[in-house]
Amino acid sequence: MTTINNKHVLITGGASGLGRRLVQRCAEMGAAVTILDVDEAGAEAAADEAAARGAGPIRAFVCDVGDNKQVAACAADVLAAQGQVDILVNNAGIVSGRPLLELSDEHIERTFRVNTLALFWTTKAFLPAMIARGSGHIVNVASAAGLIGSPRETDYAASKFAAVGFNEALRLELQRSAPGVKTTVVRPFYIDTGMFAGVNTRFPLLLPILKEADVTERILRAIQRDTAQVDMPWMVRTLPLMRLLPVWAFDGLADFFGITGAMDEFTGRPAAER
């Protein structure tokens, strides 16, 4: 069991969406919170909001978590200002939403830097102290796109499949070497944060566009209960079973459930709001 009250929680991508709500809720639950984000104004605003809700110190740092040198430098500043991190939430993520041949090399590399490589850099920065203390929790916010690919998501799905693999290998390493340090992988379908504005779902009862608040509460509960995996909605958990089918049948089911066409009307967040 990992308590949140009186702990130091570090949340990447805490300036917006899911990360921002996690920042608010952790502050309300009595944690000290650190935000790492590239959006300076958003991170400062999130920190101010959270400070008004909780007693623990809330600090925001500008940091591109996809850059290992920035993460190392920032980790030293975080340690000096806020102390050791008890709970690390790898939440920052980006999406391009374009077919492969419309993706620039820069888009592809950036997606992997933020959605995949950042998990390595932040975990390498904050895990050693958790191991030394024999306790800690690392949350990796991946996606249902880490279990199933769909059109306009070659870079995103590949980066999230990698995130799922990273979490699994790490979990098993820690079970052997540091069983007091827990991990949670989060694999949600689309969420109403605006990151995936324009996506649609054919069967909203089976595959609803998730509410940011609901996903946040599930993540918090998973931390408190040391739950290793959060799949939302429940249907996401059936995907590995569906892979027992021949590929043509699996693809047919994905098409039938509207997963293949979900990104057809994707617009993403308007540039002005980014």
Ligand X SMILES: NC(=O)c1ccc[n+]([C@@H]2O[C@H](COP(=O)([O-])OP(=O)(O)OC[C@H]3O[C@@H](n4cnc5c(N)ncnc54)[C@H](OP(=O)(O)O)[C@@H]3O)[C@@H](O)[C@H]2O)c1
**Binding of ligand X by 195 (CB under 6 A):** yes
Does 24 interact with ligand X (rule: CB under 6 A)? no
For the chain, the straight-line distance linking the first and the last C-alpha, in angstroms and rounded, comes to: 36
Which of 2, 4, 8, 12 binds ligand X (CB under 6 A)? It is 12
Residues 30-69 that bind ligand X (CB under 6 A): 36-39, 42, 64-66
Q: Which two tokens stand for residue 145?
A: 């796109």
In the complex, least distance from residue 208 CB atom to ligand X, rounded to whole angstroms: 12
Q: Which of 190, 230, 239, 263 binds ligand X (CB under 6 A)?
A: 190
Shortest approach of ligand X to residue 141 CB, angstroms? 4
Is residue 254 a contact point for ligand X (CB under 6 A)?
no
Judged by CB under 6 A, the stretch of 78-86, 188-196, 242-250, 258-266 that binds ligand X is 188-196
Exposure b/e, 119-128, CB count within 10 A at least 16 = b: bebbbebbbe
The residue within the footprint of ligand X, chosen from 4, 74, 94, 158 (CB under 6 A), is 94
Using the minimum distance from each CB to ligand X, give the nearer residue, 29 or 117. 117
Q: Give the total of residues touching ligand X (CB under 6 A).
A: 30
247: exposed, middle or buried (Cβ count in 10 Å: 0-12, 13-18, 19+): exposed
C-alpha distances in Å from residue 226, one per residue of 102, 139, 210, 221, 242:
41, 10, 22, 8, 27
Rule CB under 6 A: is residue 16 a binding residue for ligand X? yes
Question: Residue 114 and residue 197: Cα distance in Å, rounded?
Answer: 20
| CB-based contact 65:122 (threshold 8 Å) | yes
Spatial neighbors of 92 by CB under 8 A, at least 6 apart, are: 12, 13, 19, 36, 37, 65, 114, 118
Q: Clarify whether 156 is annotated catalytic.
A: yes
Binding positions for ligand X, rule: CB under 6 A: 12-13, 15-19, 36-39, 42, 64-66, 91-94, 114, 141, 143, 188, 190-191, 193-196, 274
Q: Which residues are catalytic?
A: 156
